Structure 1
Amino acid sequence: MISYLSASYIYPVTGPVLKNGVIGIDPDGLIRTVLSAEEAKNQNIELVTFYEGLLVPGFVNTHCHLELSHLKGKVEQHTGLTDFVQTVMKLRGADDSAIELAMLRADVEMLENGIVAVGDISNQAISSGIKRGSPIYYHTFLEVMGFNPATAKASINRALEFKQKFEGFPLSIVPHAPYSVSAELFEELRLVAEELPGPVSIHNQETPDENAFFERKEGGFLKLYEFLGLDIGFYEPSGKTSLQTVLPMMSDRQKTLLVHNTMSSNADVVFAKALHPLLYWCLCPNANLYIENKLPDVDMLRATGVKITLGTDSLASNTGLSIFAEMLCLQDNFDIPVEELIQWATANGAEFLGISDRYGSFETGKRPGINLLDFEEVNGRIVLGREMRRLY
């Protein structure tokens, strides 16, 4: 039996916005038809459930750290990234059962917030059980780090061991960040990518200290390496920003997600676009405010035409796991059309994760999930309200 849903506006994402449009959906959430109001009338569609609001596809969260869910509320805000990293390293150890319970709650929270797919960062295998039992689609980014060139082989071997725990699930082995991966480890990752050619994720330019370290070997990362007991006497700065230093070390044949981009400049974006044809730029604005109390230059990113996705980051660096909350944060701080925010939150993320055949848009044959968003009309323009709920 097909159920018919209508709303003030339906956003198929891959097609025009439908005022008072109609979606036909079966009990399994499969989209059977998407109709304009006129088409529905001509087909004599009856028993339509109408909602005041915007119907949009389920959200895709392209950057999360499920493993850190037990740190909710335990890390002080506005400390800056290097202090944040040190605090997380001190606190992240906990009883496995406590970590698993926190991850389960986080998974349920994302589902209730209309998130249907997640790109999740893992540093170990503890999240595998939660992911196997979840209705959410997970792509695991198994993260490696090691700034000491001598540890490159060991870092890769450890990741390959953990990979077996995620057997049967989408997985990529990826670098953590420019400041935590040596050139030798980047080379090992390129070799692994030949066997695991899926999408890649890397944290990028979250703090001014990151560029300062690569350009001049200055800033807060020197203290971080001291905290880690790592002698970096071998390291010589490149004189370039972190992105311009490490992107040439990464394969340009893999879809690559640059996460955060808080300090990325127009020159960085121009450089990156010329070098790498498969880049996506992930924004996690609430986490940026939580850690650095600063937002990326979103207007500049939009002007350069890059593909933008959205992420929540972790509960160590955010008060909740809601893509809708990230959309509201961006709307509150920038002049971004609703259609664009919805594109970032749905289709772009699905495209990056390689799951557009099911998620990201309202099209016949897909099971993308359905969310209902509150809205207002301001000066003839639709803007997001403050409420949302998951319908399917």
Structure 2
Amino acid sequence: MKSFKADYVFPVSADPIKNGIVTVDDHGKVISVTEENSPPPNVKVETLSGVIVPGFINTHCHTELSHLKDKIEPGTGLISFIKEIMALRASDPEAIEAASLAADQEMYDNGIVAVGDISNTPGTAGMKADSALYYHTFVEILGFVPERAEEVFNAALATAEQFKPQPVSVTAHAPYTVSKELFKLIKKYSDNNDNLLSIHNQECEDENKFYRYKLGGFIDLYKHLNINIDFFKPQARNSLQSVIPLLTNKQKILMVHNTCTNLKDIYFIKRFDRKINWCFCPNANLYIEKRLPKVELFVNQDLNITLGTDSLASNTKLCILSEMRTLQQHFPSLSLEMLLQWGTINGAEFLGVDSTKGTIEAGKTPGLNLLTGLDGFKLTDDTKVKRLV
């Protein structure tokens, strides 16, 4: 057994413990969480300066795009970013595999213990099978042409088979890339199978403009892709409001990015029986669109929030601490306790691993991180994360 004592222990499931002591066995299983006046018997205690927190949960990543790091110019907007991804993503399979392995190691070193990872191909299946991290793979379906709905859905199911027995599900990419017919196939499948969902949502104003009026940059994107969209009729409402009725009420759903989600969207969702969770990837939002979601809006509505890194195509690092720091810099009212909840237990609950991860409690194997360089309970530019277990 090993015991770690720090200035504070943040179990997340309970109040912070000053001079707390966490004891784990050789497998990282928490034996006890105690105060300094009740140390575990017959175990040497390692004293550390900083704050001990649970391992981080990254609910949105694209490890298969890791080879695109530094390849796409930041700040050009989502539609330009999509075009660049499509032009550059094809590469030597060995290069893609090497980059995904390096991304996996980077997340491990940055204290991440579980990942919700988007995949379009089975190329990362081997990496995930051998990883020390827990992965849930979301096989992403893209198909805006109604006639191809069944074809692309079946192809996604075939890809998902190649990740098994690892946790895997099939999911829609985004409202602007999935036809109503394809959404219905995903709903039918999700109604009858264990199929967690993760959907890119409202990353730019053009997405809402396209759904409301059939105007904006997505018209040019479809022309660029030689996709005839004569069949699509404007919905007179935002994209999120248009697709919510098409989603299952049997599965948890993660809405990712939410850069342009507004209060009307949230009120609309509350009228429906849907298990919606919300993921923020602030560094990617700044990288692509140079803007952030209306975070306080989500906090005030007491919504379930998680954190993600997105991919190295849209981020300089895969680090949940970095995402937390960015949020606190732009929204100073966010407390460390709240940010930790978003970056640990909320993500664990969404991924269904909260029985073992997300909080520091006896019997769990959450991973332990040491945060140093804080100003009281505020993250700073000097705050670093070190993985203890």
User: Scaled by the length of structure 2, what TM-score is found?
Assistant: 0.97
2:10 corresponds to: 11
1:72 corresponds to: 69
Q: Are the equivalent residues in 1 in contact too, given 2:210–2:234 (CA < 8 A)?
A: yes
Aligned partner (choices 274, 286, 298) of residue 283 of structure 2:
286
Q: Is 1:301 paired with 2:323? A: no
CA drift of 1:47 comes to 2.2
Q: Are the equivalent residues in 1 in contact too, given 2:142–2:177 (CA < 8 A)?
A: yes
SS of match in other structure, 1:166: coil
The count of aligned residue pairs is 387
Q: Are the equivalent residues in 2 in contact too, given 1:54–1:375 (CA < 8 A)?
A: no
SS of match in other structure, 2:374: strand
Q: Aligned partners of 1:45 and 1:22: how far apart in 2?
A: 14
Q: Is 1:28 paired with 2:21? A: no
2:342 corresponds to: 344
User: Scaled by the length of structure 1, what TM-score is found?
Assistant: 0.96
Task: Write the deviation string for residues 203-239 of structure 1: whole angstroms up to 9, x where unpaired.
Answer: 0000000000001111100011011100101110100
Aligned partner (choices 315, 320, 337) of residue 318 of structure 1:
315
SS of match in other structure, 2:126: helix
Q: Aligned partners of 1:104 and 1:44: how far apart in 2?
A: 40
Q: Aligned partners of 1:238 and 1:229: how far apart in 2?
A: 22
Structure 2 counterpart of 1:76, which letter? E
Task: Write the deviation string for residues 230-279 of structure 1: whole angstroms up to 9, x where unpaired.
Answer: 01011101000000000110012211000000000011112113314421
Q: Are the equivalent residues in 2 in contact too, given 1:200–1:255 (CA < 8 A)?
A: yes
2:226 corresponds to: 229
Task: Write the deviation string for residues 107-145 of structure 1: whole angstroms up to 9, x where unpaired.
Answer: 111111111100000011111011011111000000101
Q: What value does the CA root-mean-square deviation take over the aligned residues?
A: 1.3
2:257 corresponds to: 260
SS of match in other structure, 1:281: strand
Structure 2 counterpart of 1:94, which letter? S
Structure 1 counterpart of 2:340, which letter? I
CA drift of 1:39 comes to 3.5
Aligned partner (choices 230, 234, 242) of residue 245 of structure 1:
242
Structure 2 counterpart of 1:163, which letter? A
Q: Aligned partners of 2:307 and 2:180: how far apart in 1?
A: 28
Q: Are the equivalent residues in 1 in contact too, given 2:110–2:319 (CA < 8 A)?
A: yes
Task: Write the deviation string for residues 82-110 of structure 1: whole angstroms up to 9, x where unpaired.
Answer: 11000100000001011101111111111
CA drift of 1:37 comes to 2.7
Structure 2 counterpart of 1:205, which letter? Q
Structure 2 counterpart of 1:174, which letter? T
Gapped runs of 5+ residues in structure 2?
A: none
Q: How does 1:1-392 map to 2 (within 5 A)?
A: 2-40=1-39, 47-335=44-332, 336-377=334-375, 381-384=377-380, 385-392=382-389
Q: What is the aligned-residue identity percentage?
A: 45
Structure 2 counterpart of 1:122, which letter? S
CA drift of 1:45 comes to 6.6
Evaluate the alpha carbon distance shift between residue 375 and residue 198 of structure 1 in structure 2; reply closer, same or farther with a 3 A threshold.
Answer: farther
Gapped runs of 5+ residues in structure 1?
A: none
